[in-house]
Structure 1
Amino acid sequence: MTGRIVVGGEALVDLVPTGDGHPDDPALTPLAPRLGGGPFNTAVGLGRLGVPTTMLTRLSTDPFGDALVRRLEANAVDTGLVQRGPEPTTLAVVTLDAAGAARYAFHVAGSADRLVADPGELPADTAAVAVGTLSLVLEPGASRYADLAVREAERGRLVSLDPNLRPGLVDDPDAVVARLDRIARVAGLVKLSDEDAERWGRTPEDVLDAGAGAVVLTRGSAGLAAYTRGGGVVTAPAASVGPLVDTIGAGDSVHGALLAWLADHDALHRDTVARLDADDWAAALGFAARAAAWTVSRAGAEPPWRREMADP
């Protein structure tokens, strides 16, 4: 394993339903705080898999921000690039449907994570930069993360992109699409859900044609598909390690596991990713599917540890 992965983006608090509903309205269930955010979950997943990882974000100095820092540190994620400020922590109110699928309502006005500043030089051993989700929608931080991704790609570092276009949060769709297109052109890896592909208006083939080294599409219970330069289209079924509890953090676990697999195989470079063959991608997708299976088997975004990912 070579090099460090810097994960840039939001860290927030999910308010997740727990327990029985209110006696006057069963839909009003108690909410429990869970620490999350796409990039935050990806960083925790990488830390649990033993990959040297640094989180780049801005966190509140409120108790939620303190808890987010503690969780990063408890999962072996370096916090040297974490900025702090007095603004509140972003909140996401989660609802679960009958199948355990999560939907989110975000409270982001004036929150700390969207005010991230350019960190300047990254650690010298940085091999890859992963960006994505809400942090690429909410300004002014969105443009700063995009500028960082393009700059680091020009310096030869692998860039991994995870778009996440939440309905109701996108004030300027054209600007967001242009930002994602700009990063995708220089990205070595794009992890894309089928819903986000539709909202972005880009198929995996479009993203690959634009310049990405590879595109991995998550398709829920239908599994994963990699659109590649070296191996065509490779698919893998969804995995299972137990009953589905909820889907919170499943896509983030896929993102982290893919990056961990690349790190394990000394493939944290755009050209190396582009040269991976079908057998390589089958192995990478299988690893990512197992990671997602562990995550959906327990409540909240709890990605697996390396010991849990060993082949049975």
Structure 2
Amino acid sequence: MIVVAGEALIDLVPLGAGTDDGPAAGPAATLPALAPRLGGGPYNTAVALGRLGSPVAFCSRVSRDAFGEALLGGLRAAGVDVSPVQRGDEPTTLAVASIGADGSAGYSFYVEGTADRLFAVPDALVAGTRAVSFGTCSLVLEPGASAYEELMRSAAAQGVCTALDPNIRAGLIPDADAYRARFKSWLPSTTLLKLSEEDAQWLGGTPQEWLAAGPAAVVVTRGGEGLTVFTRDGDELSVPGERVDVVDTIGAGDTVNAALLHGLSQQDALSPAAVGSLGGDGWARLLGFAARAAAITCSRPGAEPPYASEFGGL
């Protein structure tokens, strides 16, 4: 069982460009319509794992409002175990997306008083848990962030494989230096660190520095250029990206998270020791698999990760 811990939210994605004739347009100007989409980095990762066929559970706190019910419905449809999900009467977090000309996505968040911020540490992990994945807003917004952090440290102390994707949302981070220091404090409890080139630049470190602090491997995503893994043994291996007509990049990094965890499970390597000893051939297969999965997600709007039947395995 792979457990994904973190937020579930609603992405409000623009449909078309709207109309705007400039400042003179005044009340006549219109903004693009916004379509609600199920989302959140951890949520997308859980759905992607379910679609790939991995046994997966989602550990979070979800609203009882209509959005929350839809989020749970999306998890169940993907075969995700929702028994660890906590519920609350507070509203669902909203993320308003903006899509650039190259398909890249930016976000503005509405997070005050939302349900997922009140996540509490569960009494125990789901039976049979082999790995727990963390990341994104859930590790920023208190008081839930401290609860997720405690769960990460507890899982690592039990010898469980842990995966971390910080997925930086700078607009949610009030003190960048404090967050960077906190990120470093997670590394001794992290087995697999995955992050984008942009996240790495924002954090200001290097894969070698992070490896020295604890992870067995660091995977850096480079958009359409592919992925690179750095290992504690000093190895570095890259694979190219899969060429595809990009609609948008929403959920691409989350799909990579899921593909890495699913692929490690398929190679019976979901443990700290096994991740550390995975050879070059194993990493090449794993990164290539993740690149193919992410490309499919980028080829369609919103966070729509692929099903196992849509492409080959490792």
1:195 counterpart (191, 198, 201): 198
SS of aligned partner of 2:268: coil
- Rounded to whole Å, the distance in 1 between the matches of 2:233 and 2:283 is 9
- Rounded to whole Å, the distance in 1 between the matches of 2:178 and 2:122 is 23
- Rounded to whole Å, the distance in 2 between the matches of 1:153 and 1:20 is 46
- Rounded to whole Å, the distance in 1 between the matches of 2:276 and 2:172 is 33
Q: Given that residues 7 and 42 in structure 1 are in contact (C-alpha distance below 8 angstroms), is that contact kept between their aligned partners in structure 2?
A: yes
Deviation at 1:283, TM superposition (A): 0.7
2:162 counterpart (147, 150, 159): 159
Aligned pairs (5 A) from 1:100-139: 100-139=103-142
Which amino acid is the alignment partner of residue 68 of structure 1?
A: L
Deviation at 1:117, TM superposition (A): 0.7
SS of aligned partner of 1:126: coil
Deviation at 1:28, TM superposition (A): 1.8
Partner of 1:10: 7
Partner of 1:298: 300
- Rounded to whole Å, the distance in 2 between the matches of 1:175 and 1:81 is 30
Count of paired positions: 308
- Rounded to whole Å, the distance in 2 between the matches of 1:67 and 1:22 is 30
- Rounded to whole Å, the distance in 2 between the matches of 1:205 and 1:309 is 33
Could you tell me the percent identity over the aligned residues? 54
Q: Indicate whether 1:34 and 2:32 are aligned.
A: no
Deviation at 1:290, TM superposition (A): 0.4
Q: Given that residues 52 and 262 in structure 2 are in contact (C-alpha distance below 8 angstroms), is that contact kept between their aligned partners in structure 1?
A: yes
Which amino acid is the alignment partner of residue 49 of structure 1?
A: L
Deviation at 1:231, TM superposition (A): 6.6
Q: Given that residues 20 and 30 in structure 2 are in contact (C-alpha distance below 8 angstroms), is that contact kept between their aligned partners in structure 1?
A: no
- Superimposed CA distance per residue, residues 111-155 of structure 1 (whole angstroms, 9 cap, x where no aligned partner): 111110111111220000100111111111111111111111110
Deviation at 1:24, TM superposition (A): 5.5
- Superimposed CA distance per residue, residues 210-236 of structure 1 (whole angstroms, 9 cap, x where no aligned partner): 111100001112210000135700001
Deviation at 1:173, TM superposition (A): 2.6
Say if 1:201 and 1:231 are closer, same or farther in 2 by CA, change over 3 A: closer
TM normalised by structure 2 equals 0.94
The runs of at least 4 aligned residues of structure 1 exceeding 2 Å deviation read 22-27, 172-179
- Superimposed CA distance per residue, residues 166-185 of structure 1 (whole angstroms, 9 cap, x where no aligned partner): 12210233432233222221
- Rounded to whole Å, the distance in 1 between the matches of 2:61 and 2:245 is 35
Partner of 1:96: 99
Which amino acid is the alignment partner of residue 128 of structure 2?
A: D
SS of aligned partner of 1:209: helix
SS of aligned partner of 2:60: strand
- Rounded to whole Å, the distance in 2 between the matches of 1:231 and 1:310 is 30
- Rounded to whole Å, the distance in 2 between the matches of 1:117 and 1:262 is 29
Which amino acid is the alignment partner of residue 74 of structure 2?
A: R
Aligned pairs (5 A) from 1:1-312: 4-22=1-19, 28-230=31-233, 232-240=235-243, 242-310=244-312
Deviation at 1:272, TM superposition (A): 0.5
- Rounded to whole Å, the distance in 2 between the matches of 1:309 and 1:245 is 19
Deviation at 1:197, TM superposition (A): 1.1
Say if 1:172 and 1:239 are closer, same or farther in 2 by CA, change over 3 A: same
Aligned-pair RMSD on alpha carbons?
A: 1.6
TM normalised by structure 1 equals 0.95
- Rounded to whole Å, the distance in 1 between the matches of 2:30 and 2:310 is 35
Which amino acid is the alignment partner of residue 270 of structure 1?
A: P
Structure 2 runs not aligned, ≥5 long: 23-28
- Superimposed CA distance per residue, residues 71-128 of structure 1 (whole angstroms, 9 cap, x where no aligned partner): 0000000000111101111111111111111110111111111110111111220000
SS of aligned partner of 1:99: coil
Partner of 2:26: none
Deviation at 1:309, TM superposition (A): 2.4
- Rounded to whole Å, the distance in 2 between the matches of 1:172 and 1:35 is 29
- Superimposed CA distance per residue, residues 57-84 of structure 1 (whole angstroms, 9 cap, x where no aligned partner): 1111110000000000000000001111
- Rounded to whole Å, the distance in 2 between the matches of 1:23 and 1:209 is 51
- Rounded to whole Å, the distance in 2 between the matches of 1:196 and 1:20 is 28
- Rounded to whole Å, the distance in 2 between the matches of 1:92 and 1:207 is 30
